[in-house]
C-alpha cells in the first residue's frame, strides 16, 4: 500500500486536498475510519439532528467534566464517515469575518490574512447568485462547493430579520460578502435538495480521476524514520499494516484526532509523551493546547399562531416530507431550516461582530426533542471569541483510547458577561413589533430569570457546544515555541508531514467552521504542490463607521 500523498481523514479539509492533488496528477490515498455517507439520514438536509447522534457516523467523544458548567460532560460530535463532519453538521456556511484572518496573520500565520484567503473562498465556491442575489463580486461562481439559500417561506424567518432591523441593527444581504454585520438570510451547503458535503463536492470527483483511492482503516500513528514521515500505521480488517507515503503524510483528522495522532507519533509536549512511554520525535508543547469552541444557548419563545414547524412533527407529516424528498428532492426536507442569521457586536468598542444568531422556526433541542409547549421558535446565540482555552491530551498510549478533552468552557469572567449580554440582546429582538403577531410567553429561560445570578445559573445548566472545536495544532511562525505547523502547514521539526484542518486555526473564526476548514484544505493544497498562492485580493470589508462609540 503506497501513494505519493497519504491523507488521514476524509473530512472537510482532507476531501478538498485530495481533489486538488488528484487534479494536479498526483497519486493520493485517503485513510478514513468511518464508512459510507449514503442514505437519507445524511443526505436529507432536514434530517440533520440524526447523524450527529448516531454511533455509526460520530466518534462519540465527550468532554471531561467542565468545572465552570457544574461539572457537566458535553457531547463533542465529530464525523466518523466519508465527508467527516461536513456529513453530520448543520450545513450552515459562514466564511468568518475578514478581521479573523487578519488576526491570524498578526499571530504569525503569514500569508493567511483576509486578502490572502478570499481568493481561495472564491475558488472553492459555486454561489448560486442568480437565484439568491447577494454579493456576486465577493463570491465564487464555478467552484466544487455549491452554496445556496433556503426558500425562506416561513413568516417567522422574515420576522427575525425585521425585528433585528427594528432593534436598530443593519441588515445585510450577504454576510459572506462585504458586510457580515447585521441580520439577513443564511447560506447553506445544500444543492438540488441534498447535503452538499465535502465528499459530494470534492472526494467523489477526486475518485473519478482514477488517482485518488479511499481506504477504510483506523490510523494508529505516523511512521517517522530519521526525522521524516514515511507512512501511516493503520489497523485494517483487524490487521495492523503500514501505508507508505512517497512524498508526504498529511493529517486532516479534526481538532480532536489530529493532535492525538501527532502525540501517538511522538510529536507533542515531551513530558506528556514520556508519561505515556512514547518516544519523543519532536518536542512541540503546543500540540493539543489552544483548544477553542463556540458555546451557545437557545432562547425559546412560545408561538400564538400555528405557523412553526411543530405542525410537521407528527409521524404522518414526517413520512410525507421524507417521501417528497426521497422521490423528488422537494419540500421541507430540502432545507436545514436555519434560514435567517444575525451577526452583531456586544458593545461599543468592539470592532466587528462577536455574537452570532441562528434562528429556527421551531422550539427543539439538538437531540431532536421538541418543547413540551408545542408551537414555538428559538434563536441560538453565543459569543464568537471566548478567551477561554482548553486542551486535548492522551488518556493512554493505546490508539483505540479516546483522548481527554477539556475545553475549560466559561473559565474567564468575560465569558459570563458576554453570555448575559447575548441573552438580553436576544430578548430585546424577540420583543420587537415584528414578532407581535406570533409572540407568546418565553419558554426558556423564562420571564422569571432576570438577574445576573439567575442568568448565570441558567447558562451553567444549559450552555451547549455549537460543535466548532479548533486550534489544537496552531499555525504560527517556525520559531514560535507553541506553534505546531508553519504557515505552509508543515509540522515544525518533522519533514514530510503536514496538518491541515481546523486544528491549525490560531484563533476561532466567526460563525460555523466548515467553510474555513475547507478553505484551509484548498490553500494547503497549493502549499503542498509548491505553487505560488493565488494573487491577494484588494477588497476591503465593511466595518461599522462608529464602532468605537456605538453598539449598533
Taking only the tens place, the pLDDT of each residue in 164-219 is 999 999 999 999 999 999 999 999 999 999 999 999 999 999 999 999 999 999 99
Closest residue by Cα to residue 485 from 119, 112, 232: 112
Instruction: Provide the CA 430 distance to its chain's centre, in angstroms.
Output: 27
Contact 490, 498 (CB under 8 A): yes
Query: How distant, in Å, are the alpha carbons of 166, 174, 275, 493 from that of 279?
Result: 61, 50, 10, 15
d(CA 139, CA 17): 21
Would you state the pLDDT for residue 136? 84
Give residue-wise pLDDT tens across range 472-522.
Answer: 999 999 999 999 999 999 999 999 999 999 999 999 999 999 999 999 999
Would you state the pLDDT for residue 439? 97
Establish if 433 belongs to a structural domain: yes
Give residue-wise pLDDT tens across range 211-259.
Answer: 999 999 999 999 999 999 999 999 999 999 999 999 999 999 999 999 9
Tell me the three state secondary structure of residue 299. strand
Phi-psi region of 481 (alpha: psi -120 to 50; beta: other; left: phi over 0): alpha
129 pLDDT band, cuts 50/70/90, is confident
Tell me the three state secondary structure of residue 151. coil
Closest residue by Cα to residue 22 from 198, 234, 207, 181: 207
The region of weakest confidence among 100-109, 312-321, 336-345 is 312-321
Cell, residue 55: 454511533
Mean pLDDT estimate for the chain: 96
d(CA 197, CA 216): 18
Q: What is the CATH number of the domain that holds 155?
A: 3.30.410.40
Establish if 113 belongs to a structural domain: no
Asked whether the predicted pLDDT for residue 370 surpasses 80, the reply is no
d(CA 96, CA 76): 21
Establish if 452 belongs to a structural domain: yes
Q: Where are the alpha helices (DSSP H) in 386-482?
A: 413-430, 452-462
Closest residue by Cα to residue 360 from 76, 117, 156: 156
Per-residue pLDDT averaged across 346-354, rounded?
A: 98
Contact 421, 355 (CB under 8 A): yes
366 pLDDT band, cuts 50/70/90, is low
126 pLDDT band, cuts 50/70/90, is very high
Bigger pLDDT: 183 vs 132: 183
Establish if 365 belongs to a structural domain: yes
Query: How distant, in Å, are the alpha carbons of 69, 302, 387, 499, 551 from that of 416?
Result: 11, 26, 11, 33, 18
Establish if 346 belongs to a structural domain: yes
Would you state the pLDDT for residue 52? 86
- With residues binned 3-state (H G I as helix, E B as strand, rest as coil), the percentages for the chain, rounded to 5, are 30, 25, 45
Per-residue pLDDT averaged across 366-385, rounded?
A: 87
Would you state the pLDDT for residue 315? 87
Active site residues: 468
Per-residue pLDDT averaged across 101-108, rounded?
A: 98
Establish if 329 belongs to a structural domain: yes
What's the number of domains the chain is made of? 1
Cell, residue 524: 494547503
Asked whether the predicted pLDDT for residue 97 surpasses 80, the reply is yes
Asked whether the predicted pLDDT for residue 314 surpasses 90, the reply is no
Query: How distant, in Å, are the alpha carbons of 64, 319, 329, 330, 551 from that of 323?
Result: 41, 6, 9, 9, 47
Per-residue pLDDT averaged across 384-404, rounded?
A: 98
Cell, residue 459: 447558562
Ranges assigned E (strand) in 66-199: 75-76, 125-127, 145-147, 182-185, 190-191, 194-195
Query: How distant, in Å, are the alpha carbons of 101, 138, 189, 532 from that of 98?
Result: 6, 12, 20, 22
Closest residue by Cα to residue 472 from 295, 296, 294, 285: 285
Would you state the pLDDT for residue 49? 86
Asked whether the predicted pLDDT for residue 53 surpasses 90, the reply is no
Domain that holds residue 338: 151-185+295-383+411-462
Establish if 217 belongs to a structural domain: no
Q: What are phi and psi of 233, to 5 degrees?
A: -85, 125
Residues placed in the known binding site: 81, 89-92
Amino acid at each position: 500500500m503506497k501513494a505519493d500523498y497519504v491523507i488521514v481523514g476524509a473530512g472537510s479539509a482532507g476531501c478538498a486536498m485530495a481533489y486538488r492533488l488528484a487534479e494536479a496528477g498526483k497519486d493520493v490515498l485517503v485513510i478514513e475510519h468511518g464508512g459510507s455517507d449514503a442514505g437519507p439520514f445524511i443526505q436529507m438536509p432536514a434530517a440533520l439532528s440524526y447523524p450527529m447522534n448516531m454511533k455509526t457516523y460520530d466518534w462519540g467523544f465527550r468532554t471531561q467534566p467542565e468545572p465552570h458548567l457544574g461539572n457537566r460532560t458535553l457531547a463533542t460530535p465529530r464525523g466518523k464517515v466519508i465527508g467527516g463532519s461536513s456529513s453530520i453538521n448543520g450545513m450552515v456556511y459562514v466564511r468568518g469575518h475578514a478581521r479573523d484572518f487578519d488576526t491570524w496573520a498578526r499571530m504569525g500565520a503569514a500569508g493567511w490574512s483576509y486578502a490572502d484567503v478570499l481568493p481561495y473562498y472564491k475558488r472553492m465556491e459555486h454561489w448560486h447568485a442568480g437565484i439568491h442575489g447577494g454579493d456576486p463580486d465577493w463570491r465564487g461562481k464555478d467552484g466544487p462547493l455549491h452554496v445556496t439559500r433556503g426558500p425562506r417561506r416561513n413568516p417567522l424567518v422574515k420576522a427575525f430579520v425585521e425585528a433585528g432591523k427594528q432593534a436598530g441593527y443593519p441588515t445585510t444581504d450577504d454576510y459572506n460578502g462585504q458586510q457580515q454585520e447585521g441580520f439577513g438570510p443564511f447560506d447553506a451547503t445544500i444543492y438540488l435538495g441534498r447535503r452538499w458535503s465535502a465528499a459530494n463536492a470534492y472526494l467523489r470527483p477526486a475518485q473519478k480521476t482514477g488517482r485518488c483511492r479511499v481506504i477504510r482503516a483506523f490510523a494508529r500513528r505516523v511512521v517517522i524514520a530519521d526525522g521524516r514521515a514515511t507512512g501511516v500505521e493503520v489497523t485494517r480488517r483487524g490487521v495492523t499494516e503500514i501505508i507508505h507515503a512517497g512524498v508526504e503524510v498529511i493529517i486532516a483528522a479534526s481538532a480532536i484526532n489530529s493532535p492525538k495522532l501527532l502525540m501517538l507519533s511522538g510529536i507533542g509536549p515531551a513530558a506528556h509523551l514520556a508519561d505515556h512511554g512514547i518516544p519523543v520525535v519532536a518536542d512541540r508543547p503546543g500540540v493539543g493546547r489552544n483548544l477553542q469552541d463556540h458555546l451557545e444557548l437557545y432562547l425559546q419563545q412560545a408561538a400564538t399562531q400555528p405557523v412553526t414547524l411543530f405542525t410537521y412533527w407528527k409521524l404522518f407529516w414526517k413520512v410525507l416530507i421524507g417521501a417528497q424528498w426521497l422521490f423528488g428532492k422537494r419540500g421541507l426536507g430540502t432545507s436545514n431550516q436555519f434560514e435567517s442569521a444575525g451577526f452583531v457586536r456586544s458593545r461599543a468598542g468592539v470592532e466587528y461582530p462577536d455574537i452570532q444568531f441562528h434562528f429556527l422556526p421551531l422550539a427543539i433541542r439538538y437531540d431532536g426533542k421538541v418543547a413540551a409547549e408545542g408551537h414555538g421558535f428559538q434563536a441560538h446565540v453565543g459569543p464568537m471569541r471566548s478567551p477561554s482555552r482548553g486542551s486535548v491530551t492522551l488518556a493512554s498510549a493505546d490508539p483505540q483510547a479516546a483522548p481527554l478533552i477539556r475545553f475549560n468552557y466559561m473559565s474567564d469572567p468575560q465569558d459570563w458577561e458576554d453570555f448575559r449580554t447575548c441573552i438580553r440582546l436576544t430578548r430585546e429582538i424577540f420583543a420587537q413589533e415584528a414578532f407581535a403577531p406570533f409572540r407568546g410567553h418565553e419558554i426558556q429561560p423564562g420571564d422569571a430569570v432576570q438577574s445576573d445570578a439567575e442568568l448565570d445559573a441558567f447558562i451553567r445548566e444549559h450552555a451547549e457546544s455549537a460543535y466548532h472545536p479548533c486550534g489544537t495544532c496552531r499555525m504560527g511562525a517556525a520559531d514560535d515555541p507553541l506553534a505546531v505547523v508553519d504557515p505552509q502547514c508543515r509540522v515544525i521539526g518533522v519533514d514530510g508531514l503536514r496538518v491541515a484542518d481546523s486544528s491549525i486555526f490560531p484563533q476561532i473564526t466567526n460563525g460555523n467552521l466548515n467553510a474555513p476548514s475547507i478553505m484551509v484544505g484548498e490553500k494547503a493544497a497549493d502549499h503542498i504542490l509548491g505553487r505560488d498562492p493565488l494573487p491577494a485580493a484588494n477588497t476591503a470589508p465593511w466595518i461599522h463607521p462608529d464602532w468605537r462609540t456605538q453598539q449598533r
